[in-house]
Each structure stands twice: as C-alpha cells, then as structure tokens.
Amino acid sequence: MFDVAIIGAGASGLTCAINASFEGLSTVMVEKGGIGGQAATTSKIENYPGFPQGIDGQKLMSQFYMQAERLGTHSIVANVTGFKKESDTLFTLVTENDTLPIVARSVVFATGLSFRRLHLPGSDNMRGLYYGPSVHQAPSEYLKNVAVLGAANSAGQAAINLAKYASSVYVINKKPSLDQVMSSTLIKDIATLKNVQVINKCNLATITGKDNKLHFITLDNGQELPVSALFVCIGQLADTSWLQGSGIDISSTVGNFGKIIVDENLLTSIPGVFAIGDVRNNQVHRVSTAVGDGSRVVQHILDYLKGKS
Ligand SMILES: Cc1cc2nc3c(=O)[nH]c(=O)nc-3n(C[C@H](O)[C@H](O)[C@H](O)COP(=O)(O)OP(=O)(O)OC[C@H]3O[C@@H](n4cnc5c(N)ncnc54)[C@H](O)[C@@H]3O)c2cc1C
C-alpha cells in the first residue's frame, strides 16, 4: 500500500511525485504513455523560469523524472482504467492488462489533456496521421509535403518544427488570419519560413489514402493537397469519461468541459482524492502552473493523511 498514488507523469504529476517523495510519503506514479506528458512533446519551452535560452521539453521532463526517481518515487507504466473508493481511508486503481490493483491512502489525478481526434472516414487506421505537434511521431520518409490542421500555438510550433525537415508545410486555418489564435512570436517566426504556406478560411473535408497510407487531403474549398503526413492540432480534451460513476464530480461547463472539479485545496468531491494540472477546472495551461499545483497539493495530502492517522 502507498501513501499516495499519482496518475500521470506530466509536469504536474512529476512535481507532485518529487515533493511527495521528498516529504517521505511512499509514492507511486502510474503513466500510460511517455514520461513528461505534453511538455515532452515540444522542442522548446521559452517561458519556464530558469532557462534564459529556453529548454527542450523532453530534456526538462526527463530531469523532473530523474529527480522523482532519486527521491524514491516508484514508477509504473500502465493505463489506469478504473478507480474505486474501498473505504474512508483506502483507494484502488485498476490498470489495463493487470490483475493486481494499486492500493493507496490518497490519489492524485494528474492526467492532463489529449489532442482531439479526427472523425473522418478512414481516419482511424491511416498511416501518416498524427495527433499533436511532435515531429518525432513521424518516420523521416513521411516528412516531405506535410500539413498541419489548426492554428493555435501547438499548430504554430508544429509548423515551425516541420519546416526544418519537410520541403513544404501547409497550415490549414479555418479563421481569416492566424492572429486570432496564435501568439505573435510564433506568427512572426512562421512569416520568415519560405516553405510554410498558411491557408486561411479553410477546413479539412476528406483524407484519402493509398494502401492505407495518407496520399492527399481535400479542403472544403475543393483544393487537393498531396501530403504524406497530417499533424492534427485542433484542440485538447480532458479524457475523464472513464471516471463516470466513480463519485468524482466532472465539469460540464464551457471552458472546463470534462475537467475534474476541485476546491481551493485541489481536492475533488471525494476526500483524499485530488486533481492537479491541466485536468482540473479553472487551470491556466502552462508548465509553471502544473508545477505549482504539483508542489502545493502535497501539503494538502499531508494534512489529509495526518487527519486520518
Ligand atoms: C505542443 C505543446 C507545447 C506547449 N508549450 C508550452 C510552453 O512553451 N510553455 C508552457 O508553459 N506550456 C506549454 N504547453 C502546455 C504545458 O505543456 C501543459 O500545460 C502542462 O505540461 C500540463 O501538464 P500536466 O501534468 O497537467 O498534464 P500532461 O502534460 O497532459 O500529462 C498528463 C499525463 O497523464 C498521462 N495519463 C493520462 N491518462 C492516464 C491514465 N488513465 N493512466 C495513466 N496515465 C495517464 C498522460 O499520458 C500524460 O503523460 C504546451 C503544450 C503542448 C501540447
């Protein structure tokens, strides 16, 4: 049995793990994907304090991970598919393909956000279709003519990174210009790149494959673009549908849809169960705010556990 079980090893979960282990709590962190979550998918984070020249997100997150490990956090790679309150003082997490549940005295949801999926015919198993901006998802032979769907900052970062590898990069933006959603630094950077073409006031209509590999995409103005890879950056969602019926309150309001509702102590509707980082309501989506949550939640866990012993 652990004092605290953290679900998710992004910036918030890792910071919680570092601080919980530092305080002497027996800590387990369960991650279903790569260590570092969203922050690890970006090649340069420029607004995280302490790195005047910016820092590669993966590098920053691997430093967080090493710190948690050194302080004694126990890490498990698994997809958590079930959560249950066993008693007033005990919780279990059920993981996919694992018969042994994880038992803990407190639980922290640090499950973040995932990129929205395309729901077009053929999009389920098409090779060359990627979600989020990380260039590293695609084998190099796919990075010739590529497209980015979306126009927020993640799409901007994808376009800038892809321009280093691909001969042409199309950015498909449904709005009249980029400046409605993308930060001005990224817009300026994109304007200097000769191989990036922004197509405004257009949306994706269909994707067409050849041998189940992306061949071309068609826009809603009828334009066909021959691309070998499409990076879909059309917003993110808190995937909390699996928590339905668990007793944890989930928001259904605009702007917080799907997010876990917490109070000022990051406590959910169940005592002993906390939510931090992008998955909780009213959060500003930044690495530094995720770190702030991960750090301060530990004090609330300590207070909670003291009250139970
Ligand atoms: C491309 C991109 C660029 C960004 N650039 C910046 C930037 O420059 N500066 C900045 O401040 N912020 C930036 N952000 C935002 C920032 O990265 C996030 O706000 C922050 O990292 C959120 O951290 P988190 O721990 O809350 O969630 P996440 O990073 O989303 O981590 C959640 C983790 O939980 C895991 N998980 C989810 N469900 C389960 C489950 N059921 N079982 C097990 N594991 C699970 C996920 O796999 C993931 O690893 C960027 C985000 C993106 C996507």
pLDDT of residue 255: 87
Neighbours of 76 (CB within 10 A): 16
Residue 131, phi then psi, degrees to nearest 5: -110, 125
CATH number at residue 213: 3.50.50.60
pLDDT digits (tens, 9 = 90+) for 39-85: 998 888 989 999 999 999 999 999 999 999 999 999 999 999 999 99
pLDDT of residue 309: 75
Based on the domain organization, do 205 and 251 belong to the same domain?
Answer: no
CA of residue 116 to ligand 1 center, whole Å: 14
Based on the domain organization, do 177 and 274 belong to the same domain?
Answer: no
Based on the domain organization, do 135 and 215 belong to the same domain?
Answer: yes
**Count: domains in the chain:** 2
Ligand 1, atom 33, residue with closest C-alpha: 8
Quote the pTM value: 0.89
CA of residue 306 to ligand 1 center, whole Å: 30
Q: How confident is the model at residue 277 (pLDDT cuts 50, 70, 90)?
A: very high
Based on the domain organization, do 214 and 242 belong to the same domain?
Answer: no
pLDDT of residue 135: 86
DSSP 259-271: PBP--TTSB-SST
| Residue at 159 is within a domain | yes
Based on the domain organization, do 137 and 183 belong to the same domain?
Answer: yes
Q: Cα 205–222–227 angle (5° rounding)?
A: 65
Ligand 1, atom 17, residue with closest C-alpha: 39
Three-state DSSP class for residue 292: helix
Residue 177's alpha-carbon distances to 151, 159, 181, in angstroms, are: 9, 15, 9
Ligand 1, atom 14, residue with closest C-alpha: 286
Based on the domain organization, do 195 and 246 belong to the same domain?
Answer: no
Based on the domain organization, do 104 and 244 belong to the same domain?
Answer: yes
Q: Label residues 110-127 b or e (16+ Cβ within 10 Å = b).
A: bbbbbbeebeeeebeebe
Based on the domain organization, do 12 and 33 belong to the same domain?
Answer: yes
Q: How confident is the model at residue 142 (pLDDT cuts 50, 70, 90)?
A: confident
Ligand 1, atom 38, residue with closest C-alpha: 111
pLDDT of residue 101: 86
Q: What is the largest CA-CA distance in the chain?
A: 66
Q: How confident is the model at residue 158 (pLDDT cuts 50, 70, 90)?
A: very high
Based on the domain organization, do 140 and 52 belong to the same domain?
Answer: no
Ligand 1: atom nearest CA of 47 is 9
Binding site membership of 238 for ligand 1 (Cβ less than 6 Å) = no
156-165, 259-268, 293-302: the lowest-pLDDT one: 156-165
Neighbours of 168 (CB within 10 A): 17
Query: What is the extent of the structural domain holding 178?
Result: 129-232
pLDDT of residue 256: 94
pLDDT of residue 139: 87
Ligand 1: atom nearest CA of 41 is 1
Alpha helix locations (H) across 127-267? Answer: 153-162, 184-191
| Residue at 119 is within a domain | no
Q: Please give the average per-residue pLDDT across 200-213, as a whole number.
A: 94
CA of residue 90 to ligand 1 center, whole Å: 27
Q: Please give the average per-residue pLDDT across 100-107, as a whole number.
A: 93
pLDDT of residue 230: 97
